[in-house]
Amino acid sequence: MDNNLELIKKRIEKLREQIEYHNYRYYVLDDPEISDAEYDKLFRELLELENKYPQFRSPTSPTQKIGGESLKEFKQRTHSVPMYSLDNVFSEQEWYDYIARIKRIIPDEEINFWVDPKLDGLAIEIIYQNGEFVAAATRGDGIVGEDVTQNVKTIKNVPLVLKGFSKDIKIPSYLEVRGEVVIAKEDFYKLNKKQLEQGLKTFANPRNAAAGSIRQLDPNITAQRPLKFFAYGIGLLRFEGEHIKISRQSELIEFFRNIGLSTVPLAKFIKNSDEVWEYFKFIESKIEQFPYEIDGVVAKVDLFEQQQRLGATARSPRWAIALKFKAEQGITKLIDIKVQVGRTGILTPVAELEPVEIGGVVVKRATLHNEDEIKAKDLRIGDYVVVQRAGNVIPEVVRPLKEKRDGSEKEFKFPSTCPVCGSSVVRLQGEVHYRCINVSCPARLKRGLIHFVSKAGLDIKGLGDRWIETFVDMGLIKDFADIFLLKKEQIVHLERMGNKLAENMLNAIEEAKKRATLDKLISGLGIRLVGEQTAKTVAKHFKNLDNLAKATKEELMSLKDIGEEVAHSIYSFFRNPDNLRLLKKFKEINLWPEEKEETQKETKSQIKGKTFVFTGKLDSFSRSEAKKIVEKYGGRVVSAVSKKVDYVVVGHEPGSKFKKAQELNLTILSEDEFKKLIQTNS
Ligand code: IVH
């Protein structure tokens, strides 16, 4: 390898090491050392080098954590050591019965425990060979799982290279780490909100979201999900030659932490069975505050040698047991199913329950997600149902008590019209949700207006959510255009308004109207699947709302980044008479931004008729090439700097012309800026 390549290889290795280290600081320790911008800089440099020198690419480079090609199906993968499940105990009595059982096998010896919260997620095994991530599989039936290597690779706190930079830490030649993939409760809410806004499927609970993110075939989707992996056990572990001694669960966890893996929060070493029970009660009292969903704690005999003596039954080891929180279930009557409407018009069925106390909280409502869920559970209005709040924050309707039916129960029919505005609702192919298609539906309207005035839309400062709700409730605003028709006398007398505020608000609205651009107006409309980027694309192509409204699906699909679904969504939006009336109103009130031919014309004139001087050496063209380009676009190149010169392009080691240009205060362009000027003209 020549010297230069050798240096590049070294640089790549250095960058990987640095990025790996900063990933660890950020995702495992939650204690970053550098800013996001500094991190991005390192990451970009690595990406560029790997693109330029593909011979140095590596499957364990941090750049490989961002996704990749979709799979057609998961392959199966047999575990080298079966992944057992756990036996449960549900009470103090059952816990001490368990202790008595293991004491019979190991009498006269102190038994210590390792305890950790039992995470409610998806069990995964990750395999590292010589410290490098090589594969990952789900638990499956315990013997054979699914090969989810590509997906697990994208999980942020899963290192692709184990940390071995301390001298005392030996990296095993072969390691099977077992643990749980989860989504934090808070991240789960955010994820569902995002899914709803994009018109995508929402998840019933964090566990479904975690499992669904791993057990789908596109790693790019997994990469975008806020997944975390927490290690709690091993399958096989092999060291080559001399190695550190791991003879207890507590040492194993310590070892995991040292090689850069995240372990279950609040896990700890406990001396005896009484303290385990105390620990269990303590964690139970903290369920709500715990960032992840948990359904109990797991107690493991700490010493491996004792574990071996205890052995396993066909299903589960005797050396570990799950202490489960009381299944916090209650039985109550499903009084009704109401349907709520969100901003994008999605209709969500909600169970109205006869109030019932479950685990100290009165539950009156539970989400039912969608029509399919209700059908799958065969829920009927009037049913007695089992409702659950198990370490989980969101109450769930588990199942109906069919044996309690008396024939008066009614099947739930999803409404064919919007419960708020009466417009028709549609359920698109492949979607689980129905949605109201009327953009001015009051329920949608409030949420829609909030979006319309946000930064993603016309950015009307001073028109806060509360005022929007008030104006809609008072009937002052019935659609987006009505914002611009508000009159001072209509609002000035409202509580907490007053002269000054009313004036400021109306001024801000008027200002926003003047400033409005077509892309922001389109993005503000909240058309399903149309975000700011797509709005820019269509604005640029169609130039005004009339043209866009007339566009065929084919025309829409001919644009960059617009697929069938997006095209269909835009097309149907403009087939709705209410939405067309809104456009007419926009025109009448003169909220009608048009996309100018600007980029073309304006930049043409940036070269056309202009005089250029070049000084210094350019990287990308010779002087004569540069001259030809300028002339091609109607400009002129001269050699002397004077007041008449419009642009001075400065390369490396410029001459006295540069100084003179500065003195004359002329416009100076770097080579990059000159290139941009050309690009916008070509
Ligand atoms: S230890 C021999 N520790 O519980 C099995 N399991 O019911 C050793 N789980 O499939 C498992 N949190 O998915 C262990 N801190 C924890 C756990 C945990 C969740 C799950 C795991 C396993 C299931 C068994």
User: What does DSSP say about strands 647-650 and 667-670: parallel, antiparallel, or unpaired?
Assistant: parallel
Structure pTM?
A: 0.61
Express each pLDDT in 417-461 by its tens digit. Answer: 999 889 889 987 777 889 888 867 888 888 889 999 998 899 998
pLDDT-derived band of residue 125, with 50, 70 and 90 as boundaries? very high
Q: Note whether 220 and 280 are same-domain residues.
A: yes
Q: Note whether 318 and 344 are same-domain residues.
A: no
- pLDDT for 501 equals 92
- pLDDT for 50 equals 93
Q: Answer yes or no: is 497 within a domain.
A: yes
pLDDT-derived band of residue 36, with 50, 70 and 90 as boundaries? confident
pLDDT-derived band of residue 389, with 50, 70 and 90 as boundaries? confident
Distance between CA atoms of residues 193 and 217, nearest Å: 22
- pLDDT for 318 equals 95
Report whether 154 contacts 223 (CB < 8 A).
Answer: yes
Q: Answer yes or no: is 546 within a domain.
A: yes
> Which of 253-262, 338-347, 384-393, 491-500 comes out lowest in average pLDDT?
384-393
Express each pLDDT in 391-422 by its tens digit. Answer: 555 788 989 999 999 999 999 999 999 998 89
Pick the residue with more confidence: 628 or 303? 303
User: What does DSSP say about strands 611-615 and 647-650: parallel, antiparallel, or unpaired?
Assistant: parallel
Report whether 188 contacts 209 (CB < 8 A).
Answer: yes
Q: Judge whether 324 counts as a catalytic residue.
A: no
Q: Note whether 22 and 82 are same-domain residues.
A: no
572 Cβ below 6 A of ligand 1: no
118 Cβ below 6 A of ligand 1: yes
- Closest-CA residue, ligand 1 atom 18, reads 118
In 3D space, the residue among 391, 351, 386 whose CA is nearest the CA of residue 367 turns out to be 351
Q: Note whether 396 and 499 are same-domain residues.
A: no
Q: Note whether 319 and 336 are same-domain residues.
A: no
Which of 87, 122, 232, 301 for mutating ligand 1's site (highest number of atoms within 8 Å of CB)? 232
- Closest-CA residue, ligand 1 atom 21, reads 123
- pLDDT for 663 equals 86
Q: Answer yes or no: is 149 within a domain.
A: yes
CATH number at residue 307: 3.30.470.30
For 487, list phi and psi in degrees, rounded to 5. Answer: -115, 150
pLDDT-derived band of residue 168, with 50, 70 and 90 as boundaries? low
Q: Note whether 297 and 392 are same-domain residues.
A: no
Strands (E), 438-560: none
Q: Note whether 311 and 360 are same-domain residues.
A: no
Pick the residue with more confidence: 109 or 438? 109
Express each pLDDT in 73-89 by its tens digit. Answer: 899 999 999 999 999 99
84 Cβ below 6 A of ligand 1: yes
Last residue within a domain, chosen from 531, 555, 588: 588
Q: Note whether 572 and 626 are same-domain residues.
A: no
**Is residue 390 over pLDDT 80?**
no
Q: Note whether 470 and 393 are same-domain residues.
A: no
Tokens of 678: 């050309």
pLDDT-derived band of residue 115, with 50, 70 and 90 as boundaries? very high
Q: Answer yes or no: is 393 within a domain.
A: yes
Tokens of 206: 């964090």
- pLDDT for 167 equals 57
Q: Please, what sign has the CA dihedral across residues 240, 244, 250, 254?
A: negative
Arithmetic mean of pLDDT over the chain: 89
- Of 65, 118, 513, 610, the catalytic one is 118
Q: Give me the count of residues in the chain.
A: 682
Q: The domain containing residue 532 runs over which residues? A: 433-588
Last residue within a domain, chosen from 524, 556, 588: 588
**Is residue 101 over pLDDT 70?**
yes
Q: Answer yes or no: is 595 within a domain.
A: no
Number of structural domains in the chain: 5
Q: Note whether 249 and 360 are same-domain residues.
A: no
Q: Which residue has the tokens 């095994």?
A: 125
264 Cβ below 6 A of ligand 1: yes
Pick the residue with more confidence: 288 or 468? 468
119 Cβ below 6 A of ligand 1: yes
Q: Note whether 226 and 120 are same-domain residues.
A: yes
298 Cβ below 6 A of ligand 1: yes
Beta bridge partners of 129: 132, 174
Q: Note whether 282 and 358 are same-domain residues.
A: no
- pLDDT for 654 equals 85
607 Cβ below 6 A of ligand 1: no
Measured from the Cα of 322, ligand 1's closest atom is: 7
How far apart are the CA of 558 and the centre of ligand 1, in A? Answer: 50
In 3D space, the residue among 644, 654, 649 whose CA is nearest the CA of residue 674 turns out to be 649
CATH number at residue 500: 1.10.150.20
How far apart are the CA of 566 and the centre of ligand 1, in A? Answer: 42
Rounded to an integer, the average pLDDT of 584-591 is 95
Strands (E), 401-517: 410-411, 425-426, 434-436
CATH number at residue 12: 1.10.287.610
Rounded to an integer, the average pLDDT of 366-375 is 87
How far apart are the CA of 81 and the centre of ligand 1, in A? Answer: 15
- Closest-CA residue, ligand 1 atom 2, reads 84
Q: How far is CA 266 from the centre of its chain?
A: 26
How far apart are the CA of 89 and the centre of ligand 1, in A? Answer: 14
Q: Which of 90-99, 161-170, 435-444 has the highest mean pLDDT?
A: 90-99
Q: Answer yes or no: is 20 within a domain.
A: yes
Q: Answer yes or no: is 600 within a domain.
A: no
Distance between CA atoms of residues 224 and 155, nearest Å: 9
Q: What is the largest CA-CA distance in the chain?
A: 100
Pick the residue with more confidence: 362 or 612? 612
- Closest-CA residue, ligand 1 atom 13, reads 123
**Is residue 244 over pLDDT 90?**
no
120 Cβ below 6 A of ligand 1: no
- pLDDT for 165 equals 47
322 Cβ below 6 A of ligand 1: yes
How far apart are the CA of 211 and the centre of ligand 1, in A? Answer: 15
- pLDDT for 9 equals 94
How far apart are the CA of 249 and the centre of ligand 1, in A? Answer: 14
What is the amino acid identity at position 317? P
Rounded to an integer, the average pLDDT of 286-297 is 89
- pLDDT for 240 equals 78
231 Cβ below 6 A of ligand 1: no
Q: Answer yes or no: is 476 within a domain.
A: yes
645 Cβ below 6 A of ligand 1: no
How far apart are the CA of 121 and the centre of ligand 1, in A? Answer: 9
CATH number at residue 349: 2.40.50.140
Looking at residue 430, what DSSP letter applies? T
How far apart are the CA of 130 and the centre of ligand 1, in A? Answer: 26
